[in-house]
Amino acid sequence: MDIRVLNRNDAEQYKQIRLTALQACPESFAQSFDNELSQPLGYFANKITPSNQSFIIGAFNGLTLVGTAGVSRQDYLKRSHKGMISGFYVNKPFQSNGIGKRLLERIIDEAKQLNDLSQLQLVVISENISAIKLYQKYGFETFAFERDALRLGQKSYDAKHMVLFL
């Protein structure tokens, strides 16, 4: 398994895994499948182009992208010491094989390389116990609980806001 920072050359595979994630786990993402489906390939290429503000990590099984997670620094100067983890997903056939753990480890390592970044935050649906346990294993702590964080149809999902101080 190769874990690396994605670049523009990975746009087609990134688009495919992103759409798969949005269909398989719509409750785990703020963005919707329909909205992302309509986006051109350039949108995804721009999204995964690394910068000093953001990056997306990919897990490859051979040449196939099977997992992703990203970090983006918050925009405002007074909040620029905070990075937000998003887009964390591993394709179903590859789950429970330690890929999520390896993605998280690489995310933390890469985030430590960003100048003046002192914390990583994330939002996770409170029903996603396995993800919460993984984050806690790496030192993330819950700092807020949000009721009715996302709605999918008539179903409401609560979320935990978690932080890791680097």
Distances (CA, A) of 119 to 52, 62, 131, 152, 166: 15, 32, 19, 30, 5
Residues 16-74 pLDDT 10s: 999 999 999 999 999 999 999 999 999 999 999 999 899 999 999 999 999 999 999 98
**Residue 50 CB contacts under 8 Å (≥ 6 apart), including other chains:** 5, 6, 7, 56
Span 83-98, mean pLDDT? 95
* Cα(103)–Cα(21) distance, integer angstroms: 16
CATH number at residue 9: 3.40.630.30
Q: Is a pLDDT exceeding 90 seen at residue 141?
A: yes
User: What is the number of structural domains in the chain?
Assistant: 1
Query: Residue 74: its pLDDT value, please?
Result: 87
Query: Residue 75: its pLDDT value, please?
Result: 84
Query: Residue 39: its pLDDT value, please?
Result: 96
Q: The pTM is what?
A: 0.92
The residue range of the domain holding 118 is: 2-165
Query: Residue 159: its pLDDT value, please?
Result: 97
SS3 at position 43? helix
* Cα(10)–Cα(45) distance, integer angstroms: 7
Residues 96-129 pLDDT 10s: 999 999 999 999 999 999 889 999 999 999 999 9
How many degrees, rounded to 5, is the angle at CA 21 between CA 18 and CA 26? Answer: 120
Query: Is the distance from CB of 4 to CB of 58 less than 8 angstroms?
Result: yes
DSSP 76-135: SGGGTTEEEEEEEEE-GGGTTSSHHHHHHHHHHHHHHTSTT--EEEEEEETT-HHHHHHH
